Amino acid sequence: MTELTLVQAVNRALFDAMRSDPDVLLLGEDVGVNGGVFRATDGLLKEFGAERVIDTPLSETGIVGAAVGMALYGLKPVAEIQFLDFIYPAFDQIVSELAKMRYRSGGQFPCHVVVRAPYGGGIKGGLYHSQSTEAYFCHTAGLKVVVPSTPADAKGLLLSAIRDEDPVIFLEPKRLYRSATGEVPDGDPAVPLGRARVVREGTDVSLIAYGAMIPPTLEAAATLGTEGVSAEVLDLRTLVPLDEKSVVASVEKTGRAVAVHEAARFCGFGAEIAALLAEKAFYSLKAPIGRVTGYDTPFPYALEQLYLPDAPRIAAAARAAMTAG
Protein backbone atom coordinates (compact mmCIF):
# COMPACT_ATOMS: atom_id res chain seq x y z
CA MET A 1 0.00 0.00 0.00
CA THR A 2 1.16 3.49 -0.79
CA GLU A 3 -0.52 6.77 -0.05
CA LEU A 4 -1.14 8.50 -3.36
CA THR A 5 -3.16 11.31 -4.82
CA LEU A 6 -5.66 10.41 -7.50
CA VAL A 7 -3.47 11.74 -10.29
CA GLN A 8 -0.50 9.82 -8.93
CA ALA A 9 -2.64 6.70 -8.93
CA VAL A 10 -3.43 7.26 -12.60
CA ASN A 11 0.26 7.67 -13.24
CA ARG A 12 1.05 4.41 -11.41
CA ALA A 13 -1.57 2.54 -13.35
CA LEU A 14 -0.02 3.73 -16.61
CA PHE A 15 3.44 2.70 -15.45
CA ASP A 16 2.19 -0.72 -14.39
CA ALA A 17 0.19 -1.31 -17.54
CA MET A 18 3.06 -0.31 -19.80
CA ARG A 19 5.57 -2.38 -17.88
CA SER A 20 3.48 -5.49 -17.97
CA ASP A 21 2.31 -5.23 -21.57
CA PRO A 22 4.54 -3.96 -24.37
CA ASP A 23 1.47 -3.36 -26.54
CA VAL A 24 0.24 -0.55 -24.32
CA LEU A 25 1.20 2.90 -25.53
CA LEU A 26 0.11 6.48 -24.88
CA LEU A 27 -0.63 9.36 -27.16
CA GLY A 28 -1.94 12.85 -26.71
CA GLU A 29 -1.08 16.51 -26.46
CA ASP A 30 1.76 17.37 -24.09
CA VAL A 31 1.83 13.85 -22.62
CA GLY A 32 5.50 13.24 -23.31
CA VAL A 33 8.13 15.89 -22.63
CA ASN A 34 5.73 17.89 -20.49
CA GLY A 35 4.36 14.87 -18.65
CA GLY A 36 0.77 15.97 -19.20
CA VAL A 37 -0.70 19.29 -18.13
CA PHE A 38 -1.81 17.60 -14.90
CA ARG A 39 1.37 15.45 -14.75
CA ALA A 40 -0.64 12.27 -15.15
CA THR A 41 1.96 10.97 -17.59
CA ASP A 42 5.00 12.29 -15.79
CA GLY A 43 8.09 10.14 -16.18
CA LEU A 44 6.61 7.81 -18.75
CA LEU A 45 8.46 9.19 -21.75
CA LYS A 46 11.72 8.74 -19.93
CA GLU A 47 11.04 5.11 -19.16
CA PHE A 48 9.27 4.01 -22.30
CA GLY A 49 10.60 6.27 -25.05
CA ALA A 50 8.98 8.29 -27.79
CA GLU A 51 7.56 5.30 -29.68
CA ARG A 52 5.34 4.47 -26.73
CA VAL A 53 4.67 7.90 -25.27
CA ILE A 54 3.72 10.05 -28.21
CA ASP A 55 3.41 13.82 -28.17
CA THR A 56 0.92 14.54 -30.92
CA PRO A 57 -0.02 17.60 -32.93
CA LEU A 58 -3.03 19.57 -31.76
CA SER A 59 -5.73 17.35 -33.20
CA GLU A 60 -8.09 15.22 -31.19
CA THR A 61 -9.39 13.80 -34.46
CA GLY A 62 -5.88 12.64 -35.17
CA ILE A 63 -5.30 11.34 -31.66
CA VAL A 64 -8.37 9.14 -31.57
CA GLY A 65 -8.25 8.30 -35.28
CA ALA A 66 -4.66 7.13 -34.99
CA ALA A 67 -5.46 5.26 -31.78
CA VAL A 68 -8.25 3.41 -33.55
CA GLY A 69 -5.82 2.38 -36.28
CA MET A 70 -3.25 1.26 -33.72
CA ALA A 71 -5.86 -0.81 -31.93
CA LEU A 72 -7.01 -2.41 -35.16
CA TYR A 73 -3.46 -3.44 -35.81
CA GLY A 74 -3.29 -5.01 -32.37
CA LEU A 75 -1.79 -2.49 -29.98
CA LYS A 76 -3.52 -1.14 -26.89
CA PRO A 77 -3.43 2.61 -27.14
CA VAL A 78 -4.38 4.88 -24.27
CA ALA A 79 -5.29 8.24 -25.74
CA GLU A 80 -5.32 11.33 -23.56
CA ILE A 81 -7.68 14.18 -24.28
CA GLN A 82 -6.32 17.16 -22.38
CA PHE A 83 -9.73 18.20 -21.04
CA LEU A 84 -13.03 16.44 -21.69
CA ASP A 85 -14.18 19.81 -23.05
CA PHE A 86 -11.83 19.28 -26.00
CA ILE A 87 -13.01 15.83 -26.96
CA TYR A 88 -15.57 17.02 -29.51
CA PRO A 89 -13.19 17.27 -32.46
CA ALA A 90 -12.75 13.53 -31.86
CA PHE A 91 -16.45 12.90 -31.40
CA ASP A 92 -16.94 11.47 -34.86
CA GLN A 93 -14.02 9.07 -34.45
CA ILE A 94 -15.39 8.03 -31.06
CA VAL A 95 -19.08 7.58 -31.77
CA SER A 96 -18.92 6.60 -35.45
CA GLU A 97 -15.75 4.54 -35.46
CA LEU A 98 -14.46 3.44 -32.10
CA ALA A 99 -17.88 2.55 -30.70
CA LYS A 100 -19.07 0.73 -33.81
CA MET A 101 -16.01 -0.98 -35.24
CA ARG A 102 -16.50 -4.39 -33.66
CA TYR A 103 -20.21 -4.37 -34.40
CA ARG A 104 -20.15 -3.22 -37.96
CA SER A 105 -17.44 -5.66 -38.93
CA GLY A 106 -19.41 -8.56 -37.55
CA GLY A 107 -16.88 -9.00 -34.80
CA GLN A 108 -13.91 -9.19 -37.15
CA PHE A 109 -12.30 -5.97 -36.01
CA PRO A 110 -12.42 -5.43 -32.26
CA CYS A 111 -11.04 -2.04 -31.43
CA HIS A 112 -9.81 -1.56 -27.93
CA VAL A 113 -8.81 1.99 -27.12
CA VAL A 114 -8.92 3.68 -23.75
CA VAL A 115 -9.64 7.39 -23.99
CA ARG A 116 -8.65 9.16 -20.79
CA ALA A 117 -9.94 12.64 -20.08
CA PRO A 118 -10.02 14.85 -17.00
CA TYR A 119 -13.56 16.10 -16.48
CA GLY A 120 -15.64 18.27 -14.22
CA GLY A 121 -15.70 21.57 -12.41
CA GLY A 122 -14.42 23.09 -9.24
CA ILE A 123 -11.12 24.38 -10.58
CA LYS A 124 -12.41 27.72 -11.87
CA GLY A 125 -12.18 26.53 -15.42
CA GLY A 126 -15.27 28.17 -16.83
CA LEU A 127 -17.21 26.82 -19.79
CA TYR A 128 -14.35 24.92 -21.38
CA HIS A 129 -12.35 23.41 -18.59
CA SER A 130 -15.18 22.09 -16.43
CA GLN A 131 -17.54 20.02 -18.50
CA SER A 132 -19.03 16.74 -17.52
CA THR A 133 -20.68 15.33 -20.61
CA GLU A 134 -20.54 11.65 -19.76
CA ALA A 135 -24.15 11.26 -20.92
CA TYR A 136 -23.10 11.67 -24.56
CA PHE A 137 -20.86 8.64 -24.25
CA CYS A 138 -23.24 6.64 -22.09
CA HIS A 139 -25.90 6.99 -24.80
CA THR A 140 -23.49 5.59 -27.40
CA ALA A 141 -23.76 1.82 -27.68
CA GLY A 142 -20.38 0.15 -27.93
CA LEU A 143 -18.55 2.32 -25.43
CA LYS A 144 -17.88 1.59 -21.81
CA VAL A 145 -17.72 4.58 -19.48
CA VAL A 146 -15.78 4.60 -16.23
CA VAL A 147 -15.42 7.30 -13.55
CA PRO A 148 -13.27 6.67 -10.48
CA SER A 149 -13.60 8.68 -7.30
CA THR A 150 -10.66 7.50 -5.20
CA PRO A 151 -6.97 6.91 -5.85
CA ALA A 152 -7.39 3.16 -5.35
CA ASP A 153 -10.25 3.01 -7.82
CA ALA A 154 -8.43 5.26 -10.25
CA LYS A 155 -5.58 2.79 -10.39
CA GLY A 156 -7.67 -0.35 -10.26
CA LEU A 157 -10.28 0.74 -12.76
CA LEU A 158 -7.73 2.15 -15.18
CA LEU A 159 -5.84 -1.14 -15.15
CA SER A 160 -9.09 -2.97 -15.84
CA ALA A 161 -10.00 -0.53 -18.58
CA ILE A 162 -6.66 -1.02 -20.29
CA ARG A 163 -7.03 -4.80 -20.10
CA ASP A 164 -10.65 -4.81 -21.23
CA GLU A 165 -11.48 -5.86 -24.78
CA ASP A 166 -13.85 -2.99 -25.44
CA PRO A 167 -13.36 0.73 -25.95
CA VAL A 168 -13.47 2.62 -22.68
CA ILE A 169 -14.01 6.30 -22.00
CA PHE A 170 -12.17 6.86 -18.74
CA LEU A 171 -13.18 10.09 -17.05
CA GLU A 172 -10.92 11.42 -14.32
CA PRO A 173 -12.35 13.88 -11.79
CA LYS A 174 -9.72 16.58 -12.09
CA ARG A 175 -11.02 18.38 -9.05
CA LEU A 176 -9.91 15.34 -7.03
CA TYR A 177 -6.57 14.90 -8.83
CA ARG A 178 -4.65 16.35 -5.91
CA SER A 179 -7.29 16.76 -3.24
CA ALA A 180 -8.18 13.06 -3.04
CA THR A 181 -5.46 11.02 -1.38
CA GLY A 182 -5.62 7.48 -0.17
CA GLU A 183 -3.95 4.13 0.19
CA VAL A 184 -3.44 2.33 -3.09
CA PRO A 185 -2.47 -1.35 -3.26
CA ASP A 186 0.93 -1.82 -4.86
CA GLY A 187 0.60 -5.02 -6.81
CA ASP A 188 -2.13 -5.40 -9.34
CA PRO A 189 -5.22 -4.00 -7.74
CA ALA A 190 -7.51 -4.39 -10.75
CA VAL A 191 -11.00 -3.27 -9.84
CA PRO A 192 -13.56 -4.94 -12.09
CA LEU A 193 -15.63 -2.81 -14.44
CA GLY A 194 -19.38 -2.87 -14.02
CA ARG A 195 -19.59 -2.99 -10.25
CA ALA A 196 -20.81 -0.18 -8.06
CA ARG A 197 -19.51 0.24 -4.54
CA VAL A 198 -21.52 0.98 -1.43
CA VAL A 199 -19.42 3.69 0.16
CA ARG A 200 -21.67 4.09 3.14
CA GLU A 201 -24.53 1.86 4.16
CA GLY A 202 -27.88 3.29 5.07
CA THR A 203 -31.53 2.42 5.26
CA ASP A 204 -33.58 5.55 4.61
CA VAL A 205 -32.47 7.00 1.33
CA SER A 206 -30.05 6.05 -1.45
CA LEU A 207 -27.69 8.73 -2.71
CA ILE A 208 -26.38 7.60 -6.09
CA ALA A 209 -23.31 9.41 -7.35
CA TYR A 210 -19.91 9.03 -9.00
CA GLY A 211 -16.61 10.76 -9.53
CA ALA A 212 -16.11 14.17 -8.00
CA MET A 213 -19.59 14.12 -6.51
CA ILE A 214 -18.67 11.41 -4.01
CA PRO A 215 -17.05 13.73 -1.45
CA PRO A 216 -19.97 16.19 -1.20
CA THR A 217 -22.40 13.26 -1.21
CA LEU A 218 -20.59 11.68 1.71
CA GLU A 219 -20.57 15.01 3.46
CA ALA A 220 -24.32 15.26 2.95
CA ALA A 221 -24.76 11.73 4.27
CA ALA A 222 -22.82 12.63 7.38
CA THR A 223 -24.98 15.70 7.96
CA LEU A 224 -28.12 13.63 7.43
CA GLY A 225 -26.79 11.12 9.92
CA THR A 226 -26.68 13.81 12.59
CA GLU A 227 -30.32 14.47 11.79
CA GLY A 228 -31.25 10.84 12.22
CA VAL A 229 -31.52 10.09 8.53
CA SER A 230 -29.60 7.02 7.46
CA ALA A 231 -28.34 7.63 3.94
CA GLU A 232 -26.75 4.97 1.78
CA VAL A 233 -24.13 6.26 -0.64
CA LEU A 234 -23.49 4.36 -3.84
CA ASP A 235 -20.46 5.11 -6.00
CA LEU A 236 -21.36 3.84 -9.45
CA ARG A 237 -17.74 3.74 -10.69
CA THR A 238 -18.79 2.31 -14.05
CA LEU A 239 -21.60 4.11 -15.84
CA VAL A 240 -21.63 1.65 -18.76
CA PRO A 241 -22.21 -1.17 -18.17
CA LEU A 242 -24.19 0.10 -15.23
CA ASP A 243 -24.47 -2.07 -12.15
CA GLU A 244 -28.26 -1.90 -12.28
CA LYS A 245 -28.65 -4.64 -9.71
CA SER A 246 -26.85 -2.72 -7.00
CA VAL A 247 -28.77 0.44 -7.74
CA VAL A 248 -32.12 -1.33 -7.67
CA ALA A 249 -31.20 -3.35 -4.58
CA SER A 250 -30.25 -0.23 -2.66
CA VAL A 251 -33.51 1.52 -3.47
CA GLU A 252 -35.53 -1.58 -2.77
CA LYS A 253 -34.04 -1.35 0.67
CA THR A 254 -34.36 2.40 1.27
CA GLY A 255 -37.40 3.29 -0.84
CA ARG A 256 -35.99 6.70 -1.65
CA ALA A 257 -33.44 7.82 -4.18
CA VAL A 258 -31.47 10.91 -5.11
CA ALA A 259 -29.18 10.86 -8.13
CA VAL A 260 -26.26 13.25 -8.02
CA HIS A 261 -24.03 14.51 -10.81
CA GLU A 262 -22.46 17.75 -11.85
CA ALA A 263 -23.50 17.50 -15.48
CA ALA A 264 -26.56 19.41 -16.60
CA ARG A 265 -29.80 17.85 -15.48
CA PHE A 266 -31.79 17.56 -18.69
CA CYS A 267 -31.07 14.20 -20.28
CA GLY A 268 -28.18 13.74 -17.88
CA PHE A 269 -27.14 10.44 -16.35
CA GLY A 270 -29.48 11.00 -13.42
CA ALA A 271 -32.38 10.69 -15.82
CA GLU A 272 -31.30 7.15 -16.61
CA ILE A 273 -31.04 6.33 -12.92
CA ALA A 274 -34.53 7.70 -12.34
CA ALA A 275 -35.92 5.86 -15.34
CA LEU A 276 -34.32 2.62 -14.22
CA LEU A 277 -35.84 2.96 -10.77
CA ALA A 278 -39.22 4.09 -12.08
CA GLU A 279 -39.28 0.86 -14.00
CA LYS A 280 -37.56 -1.69 -11.81
CA ALA A 281 -37.95 -0.41 -8.28
CA PHE A 282 -41.31 1.22 -8.76
CA TYR A 283 -43.13 -0.66 -6.05
CA SER A 284 -40.44 0.10 -3.50
CA LEU A 285 -40.50 3.83 -4.08
CA LYS A 286 -41.86 5.88 -1.22
CA ALA A 287 -41.08 9.31 -2.63
CA PRO A 288 -40.40 11.10 -5.89
CA ILE A 289 -36.92 10.45 -7.23
CA GLY A 290 -34.67 13.44 -6.68
CA ARG A 291 -31.95 14.71 -8.93
CA VAL A 292 -29.22 17.03 -7.71
CA THR A 293 -27.24 18.12 -10.72
CA GLY A 294 -25.61 20.97 -12.52
CA TYR A 295 -28.15 23.38 -13.92
CA ASP A 296 -29.23 23.46 -17.56
CA THR A 297 -26.82 26.23 -18.42
CA PRO A 298 -23.29 26.12 -19.73
CA PHE A 299 -20.74 25.87 -16.95
CA PRO A 300 -20.10 29.33 -15.50
CA TYR A 301 -16.82 30.74 -14.21
CA ALA A 302 -17.28 33.24 -11.41
CA LEU A 303 -20.25 31.41 -9.94
CA GLU A 304 -19.16 27.83 -10.32
CA GLN A 305 -19.68 27.12 -6.63
CA LEU A 306 -23.36 27.95 -7.04
CA TYR A 307 -23.58 25.82 -10.14
CA LEU A 308 -21.98 22.73 -8.69
CA PRO A 309 -23.99 20.42 -6.45
CA ASP A 310 -22.70 20.62 -2.91
CA ALA A 311 -23.47 18.88 0.36
CA PRO A 312 -26.27 21.27 1.37
CA ARG A 313 -28.10 20.80 -1.94
CA ILE A 314 -27.71 17.04 -1.76
CA ALA A 315 -28.87 16.93 1.85
CA ALA A 316 -31.84 19.14 1.01
CA ALA A 317 -32.94 16.75 -1.73
CA ALA A 318 -32.61 13.81 0.63
CA ARG A 319 -34.66 15.62 3.25
CA ALA A 320 -37.29 16.39 0.63
CA ALA A 321 -37.46 12.69 -0.17
CA MET A 322 -37.79 11.87 3.52
CA THR A 323 -40.67 14.22 4.08
CA ALA A 324 -42.47 13.63 0.79
CA GLY A 325 -45.82 12.00 0.52
Partner 1 sequence: MTAQEVATAVPPEASDSFPADRRLEAYRTMVLARSLDDRCIALQRQGRIGFYAPHAGQEAALLGSAYALAPDDWVFPAYRELVVALVRGASLQSVVDQLFADSGDLTKGRQMPNHFAFRAQHFVSASSPIGTQIPQAVGAAMAARSRQAPIATIAYFGDGATSSNDFHAGMNFAGVFRAPTIFFCQNNGWAISLPRDRQTRSPTLAGKADAYGFPGVVVDGNDVGAVYTAVRRARRRAVAGEGPTLIEAQVYRFGPHSTSDDPRRYRADSEVESARLRDPVHRLKTELLSAHLLDEAGDAKIWEEARGTIQGAVTAAEAAAPVGPLSFFDDVYASLTPRLAEERAGAAAQVPAEARRP
What are the catalytic residues? 129
Least distance from its own copies to the Cβ atom of residue 199, Å? 23
By CB under 8 A, tell whether 288 contacts its own copies. Answer: yes
For residues 171 and 145, the answer to whether their CB atoms sit within 8 Å is yes
Cα–Cα distance for residue pair 272/255, rounded to 1 Å = 17
Q: Toward partner 1, which CB reaches closer, 9 or 71?
A: 71
For residues 94 and 265, the answer to whether their CB atoms sit within 8 Å is no
Binding residue (CB under 8 A) for its own copies from 107, 108, 283, 323: 283
* Selected range binding partner 1 among 7-15, 101-109, 155-163, 208-216, rule: CB under 8 A: 101-109
Total interface residues for partner 1 by CB under 8 A: 82
With a CB cutoff of 8 Å and minimum separation 6, the contacts of 79 are 26, 27, 28, 63, 64, 67, 113, 114, 115, 116
Q: Which of residues 252-281 bind its own copies (CB under 8 A)?
A: 263-264, 266-275, 277-280
By CB under 8 A, tell whether 58 contacts partner 1. Answer: yes
Q: Which of residues 227-256 bind its own copies (CB under 8 A)?
A: 240, 242
For residues 137 and 145, the answer to whether their CB atoms sit within 8 Å is yes
Binding residue (CB under 6 A) for ligand TPP from 23, 39, 55, 86: 86
One-letter identity of residue 135? A
**Sheet containing strand 257-264, strands side by side:** 197-200, 231-235, 205-209, 257-264, 290-294
One-letter identity of residue 176? L
What single DSSP character describes residue 270?
H
Q: Which of residues 88-107 bind ligand TPP (CB under 6 A)?
A: 89
Binding residue (CB under 6 A) for ligand TPP from 5, 11, 56, 82: 82
**Per-residue contact string for residues 40-59; x = within reach of ligand TPP by CB under 6 A:** ------------------x-
For residues 292 and 314, the answer to whether their CB atoms sit within 8 Å is yes
Cα–Cα distance for residue pair 133/24, rounded to 1 Å = 27
Residues that bind its own copies (CB under 8 A): 85, 88-89, 91-92, 95-96, 99-100, 103-104, 127-128, 133, 135-136, 138-142, 240, 242, 263-264, 266-275, 277-280, 282-283, 285, 287-291, 295-298, 324-325
